[in-house]
């Protein structure tokens, strides 16, 4: 089973917003077969706390304006090290690069299919 097209479209909106604000290493995994509580995990990173917060704000704004979606919960906004935006069907992790390197979330889902995010400059993400 794979993630629904509407969910993938929403994740692409989030990835595009993150890319526009210069997020690094944007990747999304289809975790439908692995997890019961969500279908897609997206990860993006930034080099400093201010940029982590800016990326989260841009992602949230675009998802609200373009897909009429609001997160069920948001965590990590005060620290700016790891912001989690939970949209139910998908979860977005925006991480400071040091936190991303330390926690290595990709290794949890490395066996799951990645989603083509259709970014303009994927080589820069």
Contact status, residue 105 vs residue 43, Cβ threshold 8 Å? yes
For residue 1, the model assigns a pLDDT of: 60
Put residue 76 in one of left, alpha, beta given phi > 0 → left and psi -120 to 50 → alpha. left
* Position 36 in a domain: yes
* Position 62 in a domain: yes
Cα 24 to Cα 46: distance, rounded to the nearest angstrom: 6
* Position 123 in a domain: no
* Position 109 in a domain: yes
**What is the percent of the chain with per-residue pLDDT over 90, rounded to a whole number?**
81
* Position 100 in a domain: yes
CATH code at position 92: 3.30.460.10
The tally of domains found in the chain comes to: 1
Q: Mean pLDDT, to the nearest integer, of 25-36?
A: 88
* Position 124 in a domain: no
pLDDT tops 90 at residue 20 = yes
Note down the domain range covering 53. Answer: 5-118
For residue 125, the model assigns a pLDDT of: 43
Task: Name the DSSP class of 83.
Answer: E
* Position 30 in a domain: yes
Cα dihedral 55, 61, 65, 69 sign:
positive
Q: What is the pLDDT of residues 78-94, one digit of tens each?
A: 989 999 999 999 999 99
Q: What is the pLDDT of residues 52-68, one digit of tens each?
A: 999 999 999 999 999 99
* Position 125 in a domain: no
């Amino acid at each position: 089973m794979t993630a629904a097209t509407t969910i993938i479209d929403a994740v692409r909106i989030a990835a595009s917003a993150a890319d526009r604000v210069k997020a690094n290493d944007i990747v999304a995994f289809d975790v439908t077969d692995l997890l019961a509580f969500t279908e897609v995990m997206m990860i993006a990173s930034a080099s400093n706390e201010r940029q982590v917060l800016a990326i989260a704000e841009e992602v949230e704004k675009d998802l609200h304006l373009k897909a009429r979606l609001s997160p069920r919960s948001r965590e990590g906004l005060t620290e700016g090290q790891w912001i989690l935006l939970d949209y139910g069907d998908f979860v977005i992790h925006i991480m400071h690069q040091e936190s991303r390197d330390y926690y290595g979330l990709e290794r949890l889902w490395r066996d799951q299919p990645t989603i083509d995010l259709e970014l303009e400059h994927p080589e820069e993400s």
